[in-house]
Every structure is written in C-alpha cells, then in structure tokens.
Amino acid sequence: MPITPQNLVRHELINLVVKIAKSTDPTQEGLRGRVIDETYNTFKIETEEGKEKIIPKKNCVFIFTLPNKTKVQVDGKLLVARPEDRIKKKFPRW
C-alpha cells in the first residue's frame, strides 16, 4: 500500500524526511532531517549535518515529506504509540 496523506499516521515513518513545525522546546523548531528510528514516545532524527537528535513526539507538530514530495502536517500526539501498534490502530478522521 503506497503512503498517502490519508494513511500517513498508520504507515511506517522511518526513512521519511521530517521538519519540526512547532515544539514546546524552541531549540527544536525548524529542525529538519530523516527519521532513522522510532520508539513509543520519540523519533530519532538524523539532521542534514549528520547529527542524531532524539525528539519527543508529544510536544511537537511535524511536517513529513512523502516520497512523491507531498508535505503533510501531523500533530505528534497522534503518533504517540509503539510503531507496530500505531499501524493497527483505528484513528478518527484527522
């Protein structure tokens, strides 16, 4: 199943390009990179400079760039779950 804006929340996010649009931590706003790992509460992002940053999901609003260059904004609160559980979870229309 190809990744689309409608199924992004229920899809694998590793290897997608992400930018942090809003965060409770002002030092994280505008951070951009590729998702290299995901846990229940965090993303590990490799920045364009090659550094790895751990970002809490709950405190941020993310903009994901899909493989077809479409940009999708997602509230991190929707993503708080183990990746394998989030894929199976039913979401209200977001």
Asked whether residue 3 is assigned to any structural domain, the reply reads no
Provide the pLDDT for residue 47.
95
Instruction: Tell me which of 7 and 76 has the higher pLDDT.
Output: 76
Range of the domain at 26: 8-86
Provide the pLDDT for residue 65.
96
* pLDDT of 18 higher than 90: yes
Asked whether residue 2 is assigned to any structural domain, the reply reads no
* pLDDT of 77 higher than 70: yes
Can you give the CATH number for the domain in which 82 is found? 2.30.30.210
Per the structure, the count of domains in the chain is 1
C-alpha span between 77 and 18 (Å, rounded): 16
Asked whether residue 54 is assigned to any structural domain, the reply reads yes
Residues of the chain above pLDDT 90, percent: 71
Instruction: Show contacts of 34-37: CB within 8 Å, 24+ apart.
Output: none
Confidence label for 91 from pLDDT (cuts 50, 70 and 90): low
